[in-house]
Structure 1
Amino acid sequence: MILLKNPRTRRRRLGVAAAAAGLVAALFTAQPAIATPDPGDAPAAQKEVSEKTQAEVREAVADGEIPGQDEIVHSANIQHLTNIPKDLLPGTNSDLAFQGKYAYAGNYDGFRIFDISNPKAPKTVAQVLCPGSQNDISVSGNLLFLSTDSSRSDSSCNSTTQPATEKSSWEGMKVFDISDKTNPKYVAAVETACGSHTHTLVPERRNVYIYVSSYSPNATYPDCRPPHDGISVIKVPRSAPEKAAVVGFPVLFPGEGPDGGGNPGSPTNPGVSRTTGCHDITVLPSKDLAAGACMGDGILFSIADPEHPKVIDQVQDNVNFAFWHSATFNQKANKVVFTDELGGGGAATCNAEIGPNRGADGIYDIVGKGDSRKLVFRSYYKIPRHQAATENCVAHNGSIIPVKGKDLMVQAWYQGGVSVWDFTDSARPKEIAYFERGPLTTDAIRTGGSWSAYYYNGYIYSNDMAKGFDVLKINDRRTDPARWVRLSELNVQTQPDYFGWPSGR
């Protein structure tokens, strides 16, 4: 581990398809390395588009149908307070977590810690070089957790890439001590089957449980062979994080098929991902509930016993959902918003050709009680602005905005920007605010845009894959009550009970 320190609203009709002074190095290697694959959403290479498409994009910019290259546009009720460009970590920015006056920003090359006590002028506290996609990030107390979903030569932060077919390769979870925010210390690493694409915390007083989501096994990978029909559960003792270890692999999709009872995908269901694990899980500890976005399936399950989660309901959408990516509960826990990451995050899917129901959110009501609860589909939501054929755009990570009696959400859409929307009426969702930049390029698809957009203590924070860390403020009577809700810690995939704080076990 290397610590790097240094102090208009528009209607669209577009329808076309490191070295630095003062480096402090501290290298820790945990347990023996074991090979697992790198199936994840690796940053896509720049994709050229046809000359015809390039001309259409340039014409759309000239006509004002889409913003100009890198031009910032937003609704009247959103302010763009600041942008902090990437610095010593040049990789793709990924997820965010929050604690007190700090924001923690993942990056494929490591992570960055910001002091956000003044949201208009965040200050960098630390930058830690520790490559390993995606570096999905979360925090709890004095511990920080980082997912590694690329096959590495070992578990250290100075490892190199290595084929997943090599038995000596490693990927999984890394644990840091952040009691000193200016000098995080790498204290443990835990190898998990098929790595850790994302992870979710289920915190308790003495322990932190981690649900590790990973997928895409292969018979040629020594320690990630099919079936891979569940999740890894890690137990981390707070008083001795170096003893972190896998305590189970609960099967979520039991069945007779080669991958258990999950969605078989294509060719049975053309265009739908075969379920070989989960992409992301969101837990609501105050309700002992979890929702899993698992490639070809959405699931609802009980976490009353965190080491042995139990599936309550399983749903599929073989017409419009290609890849179940993430899940968000509303405050009352009677709805779940699932996202479909059509095209894997690297394609232009926010256009008339793809339409409003694909690459969108699916809103499900939770009906019934106890183990008889069911997920019932109500509607889709997708941003109402078409994007250029050179802009990767699809539903991605977001969080609820805590307003009693309302279901409001802020969400990232890659180069589609940030959308604030209302799903209080499950059947009639509507956008109430937005922020976005124009395309990174007009002659190719270059991956960029907001990876995560989350509401935390009165502000919206967005981690733009290419442009850096953005801070937004929404000024709207519908969201204003949320300003009075204050959290001491937020990992969005561990949803708090906003109006019964503190939540959890």
Structure 2
Amino acid sequence: MLKRSGAVLAGTILAGCSSAIDNRDSGTTGTKSTSETESVNPNQVTLRKLGQTHPSAQSPPSGGYSEVSVRDDGKYAVVGTKWGVHGTYLVDLTDPATPKQVHYLGNSNDAPNLDVKFDHRNGLYYRAIEKTWDGNFEIVDYGHSAGSPAKPKVVGTISDGKSHNVTPHPTKPVLYTVNYGLETNGFDVYDISDPTAPHKLGQYGPQGACHDISVDSERELLCSAYQSGQFIGFIIYDVSKPRNPSEVGRFDYDTRKSYSTVESGKEAFGRAHHGHFDPRRDLLVIGDERPQGKPGGKHVFDIGWKDGSLSNPIPVGFTLSPNAQHMEGDSYAERFDWTGHHFAIVPWGNVTLLVSADWHEGVVVYDITDPTNPHPIDRYSTDDGMGSLTVNDQVRRLGKPPMAWKAAYNPERDLVVASDTFTGLYTFELTQSG
């Protein structure tokens, strides 16, 4: 069990442990920020809240927040929606302590806009249109040519299939969209040189529910994660030619121990959710998301760090969220609570951290400096202000907050931004106590 002694956390994580990491008070004092060259003691790293906002098209806010993306310069965040809310919010982060809503852009087809991502060209963002029957994605101009931050305009639309998540190439006018269906290839590639006329170039990967894609433009690599279908696990592609990915390696979960066959807390594989490449080391972190039963954990893979390679990824580390426990029942209020969700890797001084929105855990900070021993070191319960909020009935079905969806990191401003389905958008800074 994790034990707290002041700001120090140590120990081994066990499934079913009691509240091991306390919610941090946003008024913590005696902390300082770190620089890239500063020596960091991971046992003294804390997550300090800076600000919070509840973007809304109505008053009072009704919740339903999903994905969040931060522009490269850290000036704006964009927030997606789900569960009875249909639109996207642009938020000004100029002062992280007081994030301000700039616009709400609804969807005339009443479909949720789950995933949202900024293009590398300022003034454009993408939003997935996930409907049960059709829908794919839209391109929103909020200052590129036709729109403005206060008056955005949808300038490009593709209605062909169902995209759960969308990922633009970090430096090229190329968009990757996952095909979240069992009878389609994993993902599509679009040329979006002209945002008003996105053009499909091809489909890639085995048939199945590809869930998410990440791209490392410096290594020219793409990682696609599959949750079900003909293949479960992840595939790595060479994207030195961004419009024509070529597979270089894969890891098949079906050849490994499943969560149903191991004791709680032990490494297992199932429902690969998404992954990120370590910016400084030849490592890949993959998160599993499981709605029921034993919660999914996070794996660290060696893809060249020691004995592994791109063609032969080797799992070297595994961790669960701090209070991970068996998830009983089928109701929405009991699904996903203790499994992992969207995260970001943070190279911070001499350590490497991971910030993750882990549903009922809130935002969790993990130390992955030693890839063979990843473990949680701090946690912030994102349920602030819930007593004064009104949420719609669909959100209420999820139970009680926190239900943190995604944590993103912006290196330009050393800023962590997270979304909670109930309580909105949060801004944090990582600090070192002492």
Once the two structures are superposed, residues 255-277 of structure 1 have per-residue CA deviations (whole angstroms, 9 ceiling, x without a partner) of xxxx4xxxxxxxxxxxxxxxx14
1:112 aligns with 2:50: no
Q: Is the 8 A contact 2:249 2:312 kept in 1?
A: yes
Q: Structure 1 residue 328: deviation in Å?
A: 0.9
For 1:242, the aligned partner's letter is T
Q: Does 1:472 align with 2:428?
A: yes
1:212 corresponding residue in structure 2:
177
Structure 1 moving runs of 4+ over 3 Å: 8-17, 64-67, 71-76, 368-373, 386-391, 437-441
Among 69, 84, 87, the alignment partner of 1:97 is: 69
1:432-460 C-alpha deviation (Å, 9 max, x unpaired): 2211157989x985275110112222222
Change in 2 beyond 3 A, CA 1:75/1:309:
farther
- In the TM superposition, what whole-angstrom CA distance separates every residue of 1:257-306 from its partner, at most 9, and x where no partner exists? xx4xxxxxxxxxxxxxxxx1410011001111111111111111111111
Amino acid at match of 1:286: E
Q: TM-score, normalised by structure 2?
A: 0.73
- Check conservation: 2:415, 2:428, Cα contact below 8 A: yes
Using a 3 Å threshold, how does the CA distance of structure 1 residues 139 and 371 change in structure 2: closer, same or farther? same
User: Does structure 2 retain, via aligned residues, the 8 Å contact 1:12–1:65?
Assistant: no
Q: Distance in 1 between matches of 2:20 and 2:117?
A: 38
Structure 1 match to 2:124: 143
Q: Which residue of the other structure, out of 346, 353, 358, is the alignment partner of 1:408?
A: 353
Match of 1:184 in 2: 152
**Consecutive unaligned residues in structure 2, runs of 5 or more:** 1-5, 29-45, 259-267, 328-332, 388-395
1:202 to 151, 164, 169: 169
Q: 8 Å contact 2:415–2:429 — kept in the other structure? A: yes
Q: TM-score, normalised by structure 1?
A: 0.64
Partner amino acid, structure 1, of 2:80: G
Residue of 393, 414, 422 corresponding to 1:458: 414
**Map of 1:220 onto structure 2:** none
Residue 171 of structure 1 aligns with which residue? 135
| Number of residue pairs the alignment of both structures matches | 358
Q: In structure 2, do the counterparts of structure 1 residues 302 and 127 end up closer, same or farther at CA, with 3 Å as the change threshold?
A: same
Among the aligned pairs, what percent are the same residue? 20
Aligned positions of 1:44-443 closer than 5 A: 77-88=46-57, 90=62, 92-99=64-71, 100=73, 101-108=75-82, 109-130=86-107, 131-140=110-119, 141=121, 142-151=123-132, 164=133, 170-179=134-143, 180-193=148-161, 195-204=162-171, 208-217=173-182, 226=183, 228-237=184-193, 240-250=194-204, 252-253=205-206, 259=207, 276-295=208-227, 296-317=232-253, 318=256, 319=258, 320-343=268-291, 347=292, 354=294, 358-367=295-304, 373-386=311-324, 392-403=337-348, 405-437=350-382
Cα distance per residue 1:68-107 (max 9 Å; x no partner): xxx8768963322332124226452111122231111111
- Distance across 2 between alignment mates of 1:426 and 1:196: 32
**Residue 371 and residue 445 in structure 1: after superposition, are their counterparts in 2 closer, same or farther (change >3 A)?**
closer
CA spacing shift, 1:92–1:72, aligned 2, 3 Å:
farther
1:174/1:188 contact within 8 Å kept: yes
Q: Structure 2 vs 1, CA of residues 200 and 187 (structure 1 numbering), >3 Å: closer, same or farther?
A: same
Cα distance in 2 between the residues matched to 1:190 and 1:406: 42
CA displacement, residues 28-47 of structure 1 (integer Å, 9 cap, x when unaligned): xxxxxxxxxxxxxxxxxxxx
Per-residue CA distance 1:148-196 (angstroms, 9 max, x = gap): 1214xxxxxxxxxxxx2xxxxx401101111011111111101233x11
Per-residue CA deviations over 1:310-338 (Å, capped at 9, x if unaligned) read 11111123422221101011013511110
CA distance, structure 1, for counterparts of residue 354 and residue 324 of structure 2: 20
Structure 1, unmatched stretches of 5+, are: 1-7, 18-59, 152-163, 165-169, 218-225, 254-258, 260-275, 479-505
**CA apart distance, 1:309:** 0.8
Which residue of structure 2 aligns with residue 446 of structure 1?
A: 399
